[in-house]
Structure 1
Amino acid sequence: MGVAGAMLALSIPAPASAAEQAGPGASAIAKADMSSVQWKSCPSYSDEVIQSLRVTREQLPAFRTQMKRLECGTVSVPLDHRDPTGREIDIAVTRLAATDQAHRLGALAVLPGGPGQSGYLDPVRTVLNKEMARLNGRYDIIGFDPRGVGYSTKVACPLSQGSPQEPGAVTKRAARKMYDAQVAANQKCGRSDPAFLGRLTTDNVAEDLDLVRGALGERELNLLGLSWGTSLGMVYRSLFPERTGRAFLDSTAPPWTDLMRHTEGSAQAAERNFGRMAAWLARRKEAYGLGATARQVREQVAKLVRDYDKNPRTYTDLPRPVDGSAVADLAKRVSTDWPRAGKALSELRTATGATAPPTVKELLGGGQMTGAPLPGAPETLNMTMNWAVKCNEDGSRPGFTTAWRAYQQLVKRQPATGRPWGLGGAMCQGWPLPVQRPTLKRGSGSLVLSGHLHEFMSAYDWTLQTRRAVGGTVYTVADDVHVSAIRVPECAADVVTYFETGRIDRGCEGVGIPD
Structure 2
Amino acid sequence: MGRAYDLGLSDLSDPGSTSRARAAGQASGMNPHRTAAALGAALLAVTLTAVPAAASSPTVSWAPCPAYSDDVLHWLGVPAGGEGAFRAIMARTDCGTVQVPLDYDRPRGRKITIAFTRVRAADPAHRRGILATNPGGPGGFGYLMPHELALTGNVDALMDEYDVIGIDPRGVNYSTSRECDLPPTRPQVSTPFTEADTRAAYDATVAANAACLNADREFYRNLSVGNEARDMDAVRAALGESRLSFIGVSGGTGLGAAYRSLFPRRVERMWLDSVMPPTFRMDAFNALRSKAGHADFLRFADWAAGKDGGFGDTGTEVVASLSALQADLDAHPRVYTNVPAPVGGFVVSLVAAGDSSYWEYMFGALRELRDATGPVAPPSIASIFASPTPPPPGAPSTENRAMQRGVFCNDDVAPRDFGSTWSAYNAHVAAEPVTGRLIPPVSDCAGWVRPAPQSERWSPGSLVLSGHRYEAVTPYQWTLDMRDAIGGTVVTVEDDVHVSVLYKPGCAAMLVRYFRTGSPGALSCG
Look up the equivalent residue of 1:188 and give its one-letter code: A
In the TM superposition, what are the counterparts of 1:231-250 in structure 2 within 5 Å? 231-250=254-273
Q: 1:184 to 1:7 in 2, by over 3 A?
A: farther
Three-state SS of the structure 1 residue aligned to 2:492 is strand
Aligned to 2:495: 479
Three-state SS of the structure 2 residue aligned to 1:84 is coil
How far 1:422 sits from its partner (Å)? Answer: 3.0
2:100 and 2:304 map into 1 onto residues whose CA distance is 53
Q: 1:158 to 1:493 in 2, by over 3 A?
A: same
Aligned to 1:378: 396
* Identity percentage of aligned residues: 43
Aligned to 1:325: 346
Look up the equivalent residue of 1:381 and give its one-letter code: E
1:235 and 1:159 map into 2 onto residues whose CA distance is 27
Three-state SS of the structure 2 residue aligned to 1:74 is strand
**1:317–1:361 CA contact under 8 A, matched in 2:** yes
TM, length-normalised to structure 1:
0.91
- Choose which of 440, 444, 451 in structure 2 pairs with 1:427: 444
Aligned to 1:508: 525
Farther off after superposition, 461-470 or 226-235: 461-470
2:340 and 2:100 map into 1 onto residues whose CA distance is 43
Look up the equivalent residue of 2:373 and give its one-letter code: T
In the TM superposition, what are the counterparts of 1:41-440 in structure 2 within 5 Å? 41-162=64-185, 164-284=187-307, 286=308, 288-362=309-383, 364-366=384-386, 368=387, 370-371=389-390, 373-423=391-441, 426-431=443-448, 433-440=449-456
Look up the equivalent residue of 2:512 and give its one-letter code: V
1:36 and 1:197 map into 2 onto residues whose CA distance is 25
Q: 1:394 to 1:8 in 2, by over 3 A?
A: farther
Look up the equivalent residue of 1:452 and give its one-letter code: H
Number of corresponding residues: 487
How far 1:170 sits from its partner (Å)? Answer: 0.8
1:376 and 1:57 map into 2 onto residues whose CA distance is 18
How far 1:407 sits from its partner (Å)? Answer: 0.7
2:256 and 2:377 map into 1 onto residues whose CA distance is 44
Aligned to 2:19: none
Q: 1:205-236, CA deviations, whole angstroms, 9 ceiling, x for partnerless residues? A: 10011111000111111010011110000000
- Choose which of 443, 447, 468 in structure 2 pairs with 1:452: 468
- Choose which of 474, 484, 495 in structure 2 pairs with 1:468: 484
How far 1:193 sits from its partner (Å)? Answer: 0.6
Q: 1:132-167, CA deviations, whole angstroms, 9 ceiling, x for partnerless residues? A: 122111111011100000100111124545575212
Q: 1:59 to 1:309 in 2, by over 3 A?
A: same
2:44 and 2:110 map into 1 onto residues whose CA distance is 25
**1:162–1:183 CA contact under 8 A, matched in 2:** no
Look up the equivalent residue of 2:88 and give its one-letter code: T
**1:403–1:423 CA contact under 8 A, matched in 2:** yes
1:400 and 1:83 map into 2 onto residues whose CA distance is 35
Q: 1:72-124, CA deviations, whole angstroms, 9 ceiling, x for partnerless residues? A: 01011111111111111110011011122222111100122111110001111
2:166 and 2:61 map into 1 onto residues whose CA distance is 15
Aligned to 1:17: none
2:271 and 2:124 map into 1 onto residues whose CA distance is 23
2:181 and 2:298 map into 1 onto residues whose CA distance is 42
1:175 and 1:474 map into 2 onto residues whose CA distance is 40
Three-state SS of the structure 1 residue aligned to 2:501 is coil
**1:162–1:184 CA contact under 8 A, matched in 2:** no
Q: 1:12 to 1:489 in 2, by over 3 A?
A: closer
Look up the equivalent residue of 1:222 and give its one-letter code: S
Three-state SS of the structure 2 residue aligned to 1:57 is coil
Three-state SS of the structure 2 residue aligned to 1:93 is strand
Q: 1:258 to 1:89 in 2, by over 3 A?
A: same
Instruction: Provide the aligned C-alpha RMSD in A.
Output: 2.0
Q: 1:260-318, CA deviations, whole angstroms, 9 ceiling, x for partnerless residues? A: 1111111111100111111110042x2x4201001111111111122212221121112
**2:127–2:161 CA contact under 8 A, matched in 1:** yes
**1:446–1:472 CA contact under 8 A, matched in 2:** yes
Q: 1:381-429, CA deviations, whole angstroms, 9 ceiling, x for partnerless residues? A: 01110111111111214221211111111011111211222315x2211
Look up the equivalent residue of 1:181 and give its one-letter code: A
Aligned to 2:30: none
1:486 and 1:159 map into 2 onto residues whose CA distance is 32
How far 1:435 sits from its partner (Å)? Answer: 3.2
Three-state SS of the structure 1 residue aligned to 2:188 is coil
Q: 1:12 to 1:281 in 2, by over 3 A?
A: closer
1:246 and 1:215 map into 2 onto residues whose CA distance is 20
1:380 and 1:217 map into 2 onto residues whose CA distance is 29
**2:95–2:118 CA contact under 8 A, matched in 1:** yes
Three-state SS of the structure 2 residue aligned to 1:418 is helix
Three-state SS of the structure 2 residue aligned to 1:486 is helix
